[in-house]
Amino acid sequence: MTLKLEASSPAEGIGVVRVGGALRLLRPPYSRHDSPMLTEESLHEAVLKYGYFASEQEFSGWQDLIDFLNRQAVDFRRAMGREIPESIAGEDILSAAPSQVLISFLDRVERELIPHRLFDHAENFLMALLASGIPKRYPELCSRAARLLQRNKDARARAEIGIGGLKVRDARFVSLERHNELEKSALLAQTIRGRGCVFAPCS
Amino acid sequence: MLDLFAIAGANGAAVRTAFEALVAALAADRAGQVEHFARWVEKEALIAINVKLFVIVELLNGRGYQNSYDWAREQAHLSGRGIEEALRERLGEWYERRTTFDRSFRDGELFRYGALNAGGTGVDKLFDPFCVVLTRIFQGALMAVAYLPGDSLKICFGADGIFDDAAIQRRATPHTHRHLMVALERANEISGVDERRWPELVSSGLQYFEVVFVGEVSLDAVGCVRVSKGQFDRLWNLAFGNFGRKLGDAERALVQDFIDLRRAEIEGKIQIEVVG
């Protein structure tokens, strides 16, 4: 499938992309559910009114296009004398966040990260929060973070016991074997591990 | 070469005459409502420009707001490329339309484009989701400003793509009469819309009043920045992702800009209003 980049905002790695007959806005974090459809009229407006740069570049796949938009952001900002930092300190994010945002982050740890076994993500956030200056400003958030850290630790321990149990059981994938899908599944697992995410970029 | 601001100035009396004729033709209650709306626009509406987060950080870093020509001149200076070459590359197939309009007017390459705003996040929520509302002081000090009932490029170009200045000659309005022009254009809609939603009659994704002006926009000119709650949450979600994985280049760029914006707000350098 050919993807045509019709316009882009190079400073922010955002692109207006033609996929088949449709136009989509492709923007960080480049996920399909955050890629709204656009009208033809809005493409004109992007360039004429909103300072997007016209483009006619074509790409053979989503990853090539996303790599290009990322490179463009690096190059454009470098030319403006603004390097993109190699990493962003958690403390910088936390110190900039108002209390209601911190509360929403804690909510997400409780409702999304721990139930979905994203233990490292939860732990990184909670440890950064507890080590930051936030507890002094918002003591009540600190105690909730500490409780969640313990809950995360317990959930991780339970999950690891479960994985350990699987090792000693006969856990062959009978149905996959029967349908000759075992090798394909192993390849898929490798792909997921490689990109660090179960979701493919928009495709 | 046309002088947009002189044309607008000369139209003031005609706009007032049209407004008075409209009010005279309406029943008393509707006439009163239209006059009330016009006074409200005069009091509340300011010039706003929808921009990207990157542009606000540029303002915070002491740079001015650039139009396409400023950018092309800077590119020419930095890279040795020609100004026209940079402009053509940036505007692509839209080069002719943009430059034909701007270069039909005296000082056209100095034009900055904004929209009247009386609340809300402005004309665009996808491409330029941050609505920079300029101060009343900045607005009052502008020597060259004209108002149009919509997108100048739509008003002045027909389906054939030919530039026609007749609409500008007729519809450009000076600052002193902007509220009357807005009331004239929206007279049929005012009565059906709750007063709390009048800001949408002035500016929304569907309709707006373009403001063309000449003047340097720096951080001093910024009264506040409005952003939708959806966009605000989106950027916080991106920042939250930083705790779970290494963000890509463009993601880190956006998160760093967002942190810079929030720091500036905390330090009192800029005011942010989250809407909705």
Dump pLDDT digits (tens) for A106-160.
999 999 999 999 999 999 999 999 999 888 888 889 999 999 999 999 999 999 8
CA distance A154 to chain B (A): 19
- Which among A25, A71, A197 is the nearest to B126, CB-wise? A25
Q: Which of B170, B133, B151 is nearest to B211 (CA)?
A: B151
pLDDT digits (tens, 9 = 90+) for A35-83: 999 999 899 989 998 999 999 999 999 999 999 999 999 999 998 889 9
Report CA A181 to chain centroid distance, whole Å.
Answer: 29
* B77 pLDDT above the threshold of 70: yes
CB pairs under 8 A between A and B: 141
A24 touching chain B per CB within 8 A: no
CB B96 within 8 A of CB B84: no
Burial of A79 (0-12, 13-18, 19+ CB in 10 A): middle
Contacts of A105 in chain B (CB under 8 A): 236, 240
Q: Which of A110, A117, A116, A171 is nearest to A146 (CA)?
A: A110
| Angstrom distance (rounded) from CA B191 to CA B29 | 10
CB contact under 8 A, B94 and A47: yes
* Complex ipTM: 0.89
Tokens found for residue B184: 């004239």
Average per-residue pLDDT for chain B: 94
| Residue A92: count of CB within 10 angstroms of its CB | 20
Q: How does residue A32 score in pLDDT terms, banded at 50, 70 and 90?
A: confident
pTM over 0.95: no
**How far, CA to CA in Å, does A92 sit from each of A46, A132, B144, B260, B268?**
32, 9, 42, 9, 18
CA distance B91 to chain A (A): 5
DSSP symbols for A101-142 = HHHHHHHHIIIIITTTT-HHHHHHHHHHHHHSSHHHH-HHHH
For A48-57, b/e burial (b = at least 16 CB within 10 A) is: bbbbbbbbee
CB contact under 8 A, A69 and B250: yes
A74 touching chain B per CB within 8 A: yes
A45 touching chain B per CB within 8 A: yes
Contacts of A88 in chain B (CB under 8 A): 239, 242, 247, 252, 255-256, 259
Q: How does residue B78 score in pLDDT terms, banded at 50, 70 and 90?
A: confident
The residue of chain B with its CA nearest to that of A119 is B244
A69 touching chain B per CB within 8 A: yes
Contacts of A195 in chain B (CB under 8 A): none
Contacts of A197 in chain B (CB under 8 A): 245
| Angstrom distance (rounded) from CA A26 to CA A42 | 14
CA distance A137 to chain B (A): 14
